[in-house]
Amino acid sequence: MATEVREELAAIRDSVRELAQLKIAPLAAEIDRSAQFPWEVVEIFRQQDVFAIAFAPEYGGISGSALTLATAIEEIAKVCATSALLLAVQGLGGYPILLGGSEEQKQHFLPELASGRTLAAYALSEPDAGSDPASMTTRARRVGDGYVLDGVKTWITNGSVAGLIVVFAVTDPSQGTRGISAFLVDGDCPGLVRNSIHGKLGIRGSDTAELVFSGCRVPAGRLLGAEGDGFKIAMGVLDRSRPQIAAQALGIGAGALDQAVAYAQQRRQFGRPIAEFQGIQFMLADMATQMEAARCLTHQACRAVDARDPQMTQLAAMAKLAASDGAMRVTTDAVQILGGYGYINDFPVERMMRDAKITQIYEGTNQIQRLVIAKRLMA
């Protein structure tokens, strides 16, 4: 890694770490308790140019490196997974434009996302098309000088609050995956109804929504690429977004490990800190090893993304699988180490355990990651 890249990475990491500890950590418990979208965090990110990390300078950003973005997401997720997801999804919404958009579309939309003036969402999943996005039924019909969208998308992060939504819809049902196209849809587009989904196990402050399109008209200039490019764009986006979810999982696990180490050093039983007992030491050692191994794999996947290495599909799936499974194990063990205190919300590890679970599900379930990895091995 070149010296200037290392310096940029270290500077952004240290800056985001300080911001997370001073500004975000004090808000995390209330964000979880209230289950309200954290507009206060959005404003902090706007003021501190955090959203800009996901984008290159030519589009109003300050980095655009997948590795730098992952490092920032991890630091935020150490204290608040919901806040880390704000940054990850801003990148997720920008990737389709970077991959499939015209230069005019990039110059128009990406600076809005980089500044945080506009929040983004990525609408791929449907009630009957989750792990199998090729079975989507949302339609886009060409009418005059635009398209009309009809259908339902669900589990859309930022769906109720986003000003710009990337929507995938079928333009030619006879062509299978080659008949899927991608569109840039305004959040207030007539014919779009957004219904928030409540009662989530974790990431409670994150907005999750069902989007109902009924005669929603989109100008032809909002098509990304050509008709039929949508599925290729969607898969390319997932190669780039999965390492960022791995980074979120890493942050959750690392935050839980920090809590467990601190508690074990101050909690006394049988006349001494429980950190002196070999059983606890072995748990902590295993937790740290799992997280560091996943971090190395995640960073390798990010470097592959930055280098446009063909191996990035497999590495992205591996990183997401290893980091999210590791985070689930580590947060569960952290709750165990804290005992009864780990089971109540006086300490953040029970929140971290709940938050970790979603990282095994979204951006492709971990069963899907295993299929992706196996398919690459067999190729």
pLDDT digits (tens, 9 = 90+) for 274-310: 999 999 999 999 999 999 999 999 999 999 999 999 9
User: What local confidence, expressed as pLDDT, does residue 6 receive?
Assistant: 82
User: What local confidence, expressed as pLDDT, does residue 379 receive?
Assistant: 87
User: What local confidence, expressed as pLDDT, does residue 147 receive?
Assistant: 98
Q: Is 128 found in the same domain as 111?
A: no
Last residue of a domain, one of 115, 137, 165: 115
Mean pLDDT throughout 16-26? 98
Q: Is 105 found in the same domain as 184?
A: no
User: What local confidence, expressed as pLDDT, does residue 1 receive?
Assistant: 60
Q: Is 363 found in the same domain as 257?
A: yes
Distance CA 76, CA 246 (A): 13
Q: Is 169 found in the same domain as 110?
A: no
Q: Is 360 found in the same domain as 236?
A: yes
Mean pLDDT throughout 166-185? 97
Residue 3 has pLDDT above 90, yes or no: no
pLDDT digits (tens, 9 = 90+) for 199-248: 999 999 999 999 999 999 999 999 999 999 999 999 999 999 999 999 99
Q: Is 371 found in the same domain as 244?
A: yes
107: CATH? 1.10.540.10
pTM listed for this prediction? 0.97
Q: How many domains does the chain have?
A: 3
Q: Is 151 found in the same domain as 25?
A: no
Last residue of a domain, one of 197, 228, 259: 228
Last residue of a domain, one of 209, 228, 247: 228
220: CATH? 2.40.110.10
Q: Is 212 found in the same domain as 93?
A: no
Give the domain extent around 177.
120-228
Q: Is 53 found in the same domain as 143?
A: no
pLDDT digits (tens, 9 = 90+) for 110-137: 999 999 999 999 999 999 999 999 999 9
Terminal-to-terminal C-alpha distance of the chain? 30
User: What local confidence, expressed as pLDDT, does residue 2 receive?
Assistant: 65
Give the CA-trace dihedral at 308, 360, 81, 237, to 10 degrees: 30
Parallel, antiparallel or unpaired: strands 120-123 and 164-170: parallel
Rounded mean pLDDT of the chain?
A: 97
Q: Is 366 found in the same domain as 282?
A: yes
Residues designated catalytic: 363
